[in-house]
Amino acid sequence: MSTVIVGLFDGVETAARAGRALKGLSLPAGSVTTLSAVPLPDGAVVTDPTPIRFPRIVIAGWFVGAAAGLGLTLATYMLYPLVTGGKTIVSVPPTLIITYEVAMLGALLGTLFGSGREMGLLRFPPKVIHDPRIHDGKIALCARVEGDEQARRTIEAMREAGGTEVRAEEGEL
């Protein structure tokens, strides 16, 4: 686990001031994030450079489902051949329907997995930074740091910007 510096702020202005101060410390991209009970405009405090992979996961689930549906119907035709006029036939409309239905099931499972992943519900180890005062209107600014010197400078920058409580914790963002 890494060390995370957590600072609680009363308003968006003080949290944004602390975010600019942390930007001046040249922390790695993606190591600073905010936690808030209300949605903040993008870039109000910090910008999140991590790409959203949700649509790719859903599309991949759809293609895996389509391949599984096609494989299911073809395996069924091979195991239980439909003999008509002395020849086995493969009926296309039922094959398309089953392929489509299993593809939708794959997209649904991809949606569930992707949303859980994007929201951080599938993290291991499960120690995630949280403070119950966030629900009371506070804004938490969290920064992942490496080393004692970087942690000390981060704590000082957050306190100077107006952080009501700044502390170091072990955990993940």
106 found inside a domain: yes
The H-assigned helical ranges of the chain are 12-24, 54-79, 92-118, 148-160
With contact defined as beta carbons under 8 Å apart, do 72 and 98 qualify?
Answer: yes
- Encoding tokens for residue 132? 């119950």
Same domain for 33 and 59, yes or no, is no
Same domain for 31 and 83, yes or no, is no
* pLDDT band per the 50, 70, 90 thresholds, residue 16: confident
Sign of the C-alpha dihedral, residues 8, 10, 15, 17?
A: negative
With contact defined as beta carbons under 8 Å apart, do 65 and 106 qualify?
Answer: yes
114 found inside a domain: yes
125 found inside a domain: no
Has residue 39 got a pLDDT over 90? Answer: no
State the Cα torsion 69-74-75-77 to the nearest 10°.
130
List the CATH number of the domain containing 22. 3.30.70.120
Same domain for 59 and 113, yes or no, is yes
With contact defined as beta carbons under 8 Å apart, do 49 and 30 qualify?
Answer: yes
- The pTM of the full predicted model, rounded to 2 decimals, is 0.63
Q: pLDDT tens digits, residue range 98-157? A: 999 999 999 999 999 998 888 777 776 666 677 788 888 888 888 888 888 888 898 898
**Closest CA relative to residue 173, chosen from 62, 59, 27, 30:** 30
Summary mean pLDDT of the chain: 86
**Distance (Å, whole) CA 102 – CA 69:** 5
Q: Residue for token digits 């991949």?
A: 60
Same domain for 107 and 155, yes or no, is no
Q: Are strands 2-9 and 165-171 parallel, antiparallel or unpaired?
A: antiparallel
The total domain count for the chain is 2
pLDDT for 125 equals 64
What residue numbers bound the domain in which 81 lies? 54-118
Same domain for 142 and 86, yes or no, is no
The burial class, CB within 10 Å (0-12 / 13-18 / 19+), for 34 is: buried
pLDDT for 127 equals 62
pLDDT for 54 equals 86
**Distance (Å, whole) CA 139 – CA 143:** 13
9 found inside a domain: yes
Share of the chain above pLDDT 90, in %: 25
